[in-house]
Amino acid sequence: MFRLSALLVSCALLLCACIDKHEIQGQNQASTVNPSFLSAKGTKADPAYVIALPQDHLPHPDFDIEWWYLTANLEDEQQQEYALQWTLFRFTNAQQQDSWHIGQTFMAHASLHTPNAHFFEEKFAPGGLGNAFVALHQQADEASTKLAVNTNTELGDFFTMQIDNWRWQGVNPDATMFPAKLSASIRPNRQANAGADEYSSINSSVNIEMRLTPAGPFIMHGENGYSVKSKEGKHASHYYSLPFIDIEGSIELLDATVETAQKRTIKVKGKAWYDHEWTSTLLDASTEGWDWMSLHLHNGDKLMAFSMRLNDDDNYQTGTYIRANGESVTLLPSDIKLTIKGYEDTSHGRFPLNWQVEVPSQGLSLEVNAVTFNAYNQARFPYYEGPVNVSGSHSGSGFLELTGY
C-alpha cells in the first residue's frame, strides 16, 4: 500500500495550481466543462480506427483526455442497496513538460453510497512520478515507476491501474482487464454529507475490496467504437464498455470518532458496468455538459443513453441497446428520446433527477429516477453521479451522470 509523502503532497498541490480557478464550475451553474490545462491539440478520434483488445485497454497519451470508469449497483445480505463508482482519468497537460509530469496528469475518483451516507474522495498525480499509472506488469504485485504505454501482450503481463493505494489488478497474466480485483481506501477530506449521517465524520473511512468477473462480451459503441456526440460529428470519441460484470466483495466501514474505533464489514454483490473512452474533442469550448445513464434491465438487457448539451447547436442524443446475449444496436438521435420529467432540489443546487427514456424500436418506455439526491461529487470539476431505479416497460437499476449544471 502506497502513502503520499510530503514530496507527493507538494507535487499534487503544484499540479492542482496549474488549473485556472475560473474554469472550476460553481455549484449548479451552467458553464462549459473544459479544464484549462487540456492541450486542446490532441489526436482526434478517427472513424477508420479499429479498437483492438487487450491492447486498447492501455493509455492513449496522444489524446487530450481518457477515462477508465466503473459503476456498480450492489446489495448486502439484507437486500440493502449500495452504489460504487471508481474512475481513473488521464489528461494531456501541455503546461507540464518535465520529468515528473511528462505532459500527463492523472485524476481519480472513488464514491460509495451506503444506506446512510455518501463517501467521496479525489486524488491527483503527475504522470511521471510513479504513483499513478496504467500498465502491464510481469508480476501481479509489481509497482510501476513510470507511466507505461506497453503494447506487448505476451503471457506474463498483468493489467494494472493504480493511483496511490487505489488499485485495479487483472488476475490473469495475459494483459486482460477481467477478471480483476479492485481495492480502494476512501478517506475523504470533503465528504458530501458531513454532520448528517452515521459515518459522516472527517475521521470516518471506508475500505473496498471487490472481485470483478466478466459475464458477457465487450461492446463497441457507435460504429466499431467510434462514437459521435454531435450532429456535425465535431465531437467524437473512441468508446467501448463491458456492461456484463458480476461484482462481489466487502465494504469495511470505520468510524474513528469514538474512543475505540468502530468497524463493520459488509458483504455485497451485484452488477457492474465498465467504460473506457478517449477523445480530444469532447471537452471543447462549445460543450455545456452531458447527461449519461447506464441501465441494467431485469430481463438481462442493457442500455447506454447519452445527451450532449452544446452552446452552439441542438442537444445530441444517442445510445446503445444491448441484448442479454451480447448483441448490440447503435441508437441514433431518431431512435432515442431522453426527456427530463422532474428536477429535485439538493444541497448543491437543482438537478434533473427524473427522466423518461423512449426507444420505440426496442419496445422501451422507461422511467428513470434517482435513488438519492445526495450524489454530488464535490471534485475540482464537480458533477452528479449516482444510482437510479428503472420502471415502466422494463424494471431495473443503473447509474446517472450529470455534468455542467
State pLDDT tens for residues 276-310: 999 999 877 888 999 999 999 999 999 999 999 99
Which segment of 68-82, 119-133, 172-186, 187-201 scores lowest on mean pLDDT? 187-201
Average pLDDT, the chain: 84
Which segment of 44-48, 127-131, 145-149, 159-163 scores lowest on mean pLDDT? 145-149
pLDDT number for residue 147:
35
The model's confidence at residue 203, banded by pLDDT at 50, 70 and 90, is low
Which segment of 20-34, 41-55, 68-82, 234-248 scores lowest on mean pLDDT? 20-34
For 314-358, write each residue's pLDDT tens digit.
Answer: 899 999 999 999 999 999 999 999 999 999 998 889 999 999 999
Q: How far is CA 15 from CA 9, 68, 73, 145, 308, in A?
A: 10, 21, 33, 19, 29
**Cβ atoms within 10 Å of 363's Cβ, excluding its own:** 8
For 58-93, write each residue's pLDDT tens digit.
Answer: 999 999 999 999 999 999 999 999 999 999 999 987
Q: Is the pLDDT score of 258 beyond 80?
A: no
Report the run of H or E that residue 130 belongs to, with start and end: none
| Helices and strands, number each (H, E), in the chain | 1, 23
Distance CA 73, CA 52 (A): 28
**Cβ atoms within 10 Å of 256's Cβ, excluding its own:** 15
Q: Is the pLDDT score of 155 beyond 80?
A: no
The model's confidence at residue 199, banded by pLDDT at 50, 70 and 90, is very low
pLDDT number for residue 261:
63
How many whole angstroms from its chain centre is CA 184? 14
Q: Is the pLDDT score of 257 beyond 60?
A: no
- Inter-residue contact 381 to 401 (CB < 8 Å): no
Q: Which is more confidently placed, 123 or 262? A: 123
Q: Is the pLDDT score of 33 beyond 90?
A: no
pLDDT number for residue 141:
52
Check residue 17 and report its DSSP letter. Answer: H
Can you give the residue ranges of every domain in the chain? Answer: 6-402
For 89-143, write each residue's pLDDT tens digit.
Answer: 999 876 666 667 678 899 999 999 999 889 999 999 998 888 999 999 876 554 4
> What's the CATH class of domain 6-402?
mainly beta
pTM above 0.75, yes or no: yes
pLDDT number for residue 188:
59
Q: How far is CA 156 from CA 136, 140, 161, in A?
A: 9, 9, 16
Q: Which three cell numbers stand for residue 195?
A: 454532520
Give per-residue burial for 25-41: e unless 16+ CB within 10 Å, then b.
Answer: beeeeebbbbbebbbee
Q: Is the pLDDT score of 3 beyond 80?
A: no
Which of helix, strand or coil describes residue 364? strand
